[in-house]
């Protein structure tokens, strides 16, 4: 997937820049410009994860009882009110799961960066997982890499714990 996106976002002959030039816009140097390299990785990562997120949210939507939506309709709730008062509260467990998993995936991103930019240009896309990889396999300093892995684990644990604590305010489980 990352190699395909590297080809699509090629600054000189990529499909995206060719399309942009066809409509009169000068395309950026996606993975060669330090200002555009990380947005290119974010676009590719979002595209990669959209299928997973869609399936989880679709399953959550299918789990919502139609009678609750019909009851809101009979009570005179418009589309907007049904969305924010019925659908989103009942979808909040699925949204919470997607949010937590996406945060963890974002913190642990490695393969897209490695395949698309290798951390460049000028370390503008260097991420923690690449540092762990380089310490282990490039520099042979496995002890430092293991310590950094534990720090990363701690950060993920704290972020997840904060999200888990915060869910009490906005996640509504149907009884």
Q: Which burial class, exposed, middle or buried, applies to 50 when counting CB atoms under 10 A from its CB (0-12, 13-18, 19+)?
A: exposed
The gap from C-alpha 174 to its chain's centroid, in whole angstroms, comes to 27
Long-range contacts of 160-167 (CB under 8 A, 24+ apart): 160/100, 160/103, 160/104, 163/96, 163/99, 163/100, 163/103, 164/100, 167/96
For residue 32, give the nearest of 112, 114, 122, 109 by alpha carbon. 122
pLDDT at 24: 94
The owner of tokens 């913190």 is 107
- The CA-to-CA distance between both ends of the chain, in Å, stands at 41
As a residue count, the chain comes to 175
Domains defined along the chain, listed by start? 2-170 (1.10.3720.10)
pLDDT at 87: 95
pLDDT at 56: 98
pLDDT at 172: 86
Contact between residue 155 and residue 107 where contact means Cβ atoms under 8 Å apart: yes
pLDDT at 133: 96
Q: Is cis: bond before 82, omega within 30 of 0?
A: no
Q: Which residues of the chain have pLDDT under 70?
A: 175
pLDDT at 31: 86
Q: What is the pLDDT of residues 48-93, one digit of tens each?
A: 999 999 999 999 999 999 999 999 999 999 999 999 999 999 999 9
pLDDT at 175: 63
Long-range contacts of 120-125 (CB under 8 A, 24+ apart): 120/37, 121/31, 121/32, 121/33, 121/34, 121/37, 122/34, 124/34, 124/35, 124/37, 124/38, 125/37, 125/38, 125/41
Q: Which burial class, exposed, middle or buried, applies to 59 when counting CB atoms under 10 A from its CB (0-12, 13-18, 19+)?
A: exposed
pTM of the model: 0.85
């Amino acid at each position: 997937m990352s190699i395909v996106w590297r080809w699509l976002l090629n600054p000189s002959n990529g499909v995206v820049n060719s399309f942009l030039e066809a409509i009169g816009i000068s395309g950026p140097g996606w993975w060669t410009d330090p200002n555009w390299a990380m947005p290119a990785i974010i676009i590719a990562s979002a595209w990669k994860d959209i299928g997973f997120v869609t399936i989880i949210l679709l399953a959550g939507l299918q789990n919502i009882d139609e009678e609750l939506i019909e009851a809101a309709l009979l009570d005179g709730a418009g589309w907007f009110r049904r969305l924010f008062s019925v659908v989103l509260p009942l979808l909040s467990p699925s949204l919470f799961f997607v949010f937590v998993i996406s945060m963890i995936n974002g913190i642990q991103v490695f393969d897209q960066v490695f395949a698309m930019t290798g951390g460049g240009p000028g370390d503008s896309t260097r991420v923690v997982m690449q540092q762990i990889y380089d310490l282990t396999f490039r520099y042979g300093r496995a002890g430092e890499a293991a310590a950094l892995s534990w720090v990363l684990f701690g950060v993920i644990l704290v972020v997840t714990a904060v999200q888990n604590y915060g869910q009490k305010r906005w996640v509504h489980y149907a009884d």
